[in-house]
A and B are shown apart, each in its own frame.
Chain A
Amino acid sequence: MTALSAAPTTRQRQARALALAPALAITTGALILPALVMVAYSLFAYVPGKITDYTLTLGNYARLFGDSFYLRVLANTVEMSLIVTALSLVLGFPVALFLARTTPRLRGLLAYLVFLPMMVGIVVRAYGWMVILGREGLVNSALLKTGLIDAPIRLLFTRDAVVLGLTEVLLPFMIMPILSALEKIDPHVEEAARALGASPAETFWRVTLPLSLPGVVSGSLLVFSLSLTAYALPALLGGARVKFIAALAYDAMLVGYNWPLAAAIGVLMSAVASAVIYLYLSALRGR
């Protein structure tokens, strides 16, 4: 290619190592090593009143898999994450399709509006949902005014509130990959299908949709893994009634100070999430 990259001198190799050093130090020191420490912790015995006891045991995992409470919360989290993923797909695909087909100017503005909520952060958006769904919130006051209900109904601290909030927060992660996939489709392919006699609906079902599949797959897996490990939003919109698996890790870690058990929950979550990421990457590679 170029002189710089074709024949690296010792000095250039040093320069590269030097350039990569700070970032690699951060990722290794603050991500890889702590992850290994977490795995180690999950194998330590828990002695009440003592943060760490270095006796090795599989007891934490035995407790997780032996206690129906933990498994029920995990199953519940997986179930709700599947619903959130399906809803995000149903809502996200039309948006991505519209963005891919509209004028460049409008696309720029609308893409910015997808991106903006992501930058605002989840705490503010969770609060927005509390204002909308609360006892005196937007929905209840509208329903009361129209006479559909006589007394405020409980919308907040329900499964539906958590599903709604998570869908809203994770929707951009669905829209962006699908939009990228749709933009990569050569317009000539669709034109060819139309020229060969396919109706617009047929063209969509047999050409556009299959070609957008990589985006659908990556968006779905991204949304699913983010939902599976959500903590803040379910805690705020679900209250004590709707527990996600991450809430159990938080409770074990910061309320019960049972760090080995918290670490085991963490390892379990990463195992499920890694399986998802592995699927995600192999699905991308398969295309």
Chain B
Amino acid sequence: MGARRHWIWWCLGLAVGLIYLFMIGPIMVVLIAAFSSGDTMEFPPAGWSLRWFAALAGHADFLASFRLSLGLGLIAAAVATVSGALAAYGLVRYRRPCQAGIETLLLAPLYVPRVLIAMALLLVFAKLGLAGSLTGMIIGHALIALPFVVRTMSASLAGVDPAVEEAARCLGATWRQAFVLVTLPLVRSGLAAGAVFAFIVSFTDVYLALFIAGPETITLPLRIFTFMEWEQSPMVAAVSTAQVIVILVVMALAEKTVSLSSAGRI
């Protein structure tokens, strides 16, 4: 392939290269600006240093938000992964007439704009006393992470022959044993991908946090957002870099077991 490409192909390649620069550029710029030695957002930076990472390490608010977002991401991902995996199992294994309706409902959080979800949640949470609470944030993030788990799990469950599970049942395993001991190990890559998506969705969400977070539950993206509105020091670049590193590490770990990019197709 590609031995004798038309010249149009190389023009297309050049254009695509520039478009990639456009897509990746803003992130690269942040990663570079984090190492600035200046006090402003001057770019390219006049000098290099690690002072903004040092400042970050001493910034109690950012550290608290970082820890909160990590914990919240893990809990929300756990809730979404368990309920999403079970739901995908119910959907794929036992087909029923209302199948399409249930599937639409489970994938709906993906298509309903985040702002609307956040507004509606605030109205309800305010009445229930959940506004600003960690519980409220967990519920909200589990909701928006759920479709990612349902989708990746449905895809990998569809690739597992139900006969394998039946064989286990015939050999005397209970429904639960068959699921945990036979099916689950076969779909672990789908499960890992779903859990990673769920974590990242929670870890990077700012919309829900803008509406339903309280003073005690300011997540990292929300902290960066509010900080950015008032101040534009390279500290934001440093904390953003830290966030990107967490995401890249999580994705790299998962990429070993499963191809996220193919699972993440819209």
Contact = CB atoms under 8 A, between A and B. Distances in A.
A124 B91 contact: no
A138 B207 contact: no
Nearest to B232: A130
B86 A180 contact: no
Nearest to A6: B95
B47 interface: no
Contacts of B115: 229-231, 246, 249-250, 266, 269
Chain B interface mostly: helix
B23 A117 contact: yes
B213 to A, nearest CB: 11
Contacts of A4: 93-94, 162, 165-166
B19 A91 contact: yes
Contact of A263 (B114, B119, B264): B119
| Contact count band on A | 35 or more
Contacts of B113: 225-226, 228-229, 269-270, 273
Given A91-B22, A108-B261, A119-B204, A124 B175 contact: no
Please classify how large the interface on chain B is, using the bins under 10, 10 to 19, 20 to 34, 35 or more: 35 or more
A131 B33 contact: yes
B108 interface: yes
Interface string B102-124: 10011011011111110111111
A50 interface: no
A192 B244 CA distance: 47
Interface of B: 1-2, 6, 8-9, 12-13, 15-16, 19-20, 22-30, 33, 40-44, 79, 82-84, 86-87, 89-91, 93-96, 102, 105-106, 108-109, 111-117, 119-124, 126, 139-140, 142-143, 146, 150, 162-163, 165-166, 175, 200, 203-207, 210-211, 221, 224-225, 228-229, 232, 236-237, 240, 243-244, 247, 251, 259-262, 264-266
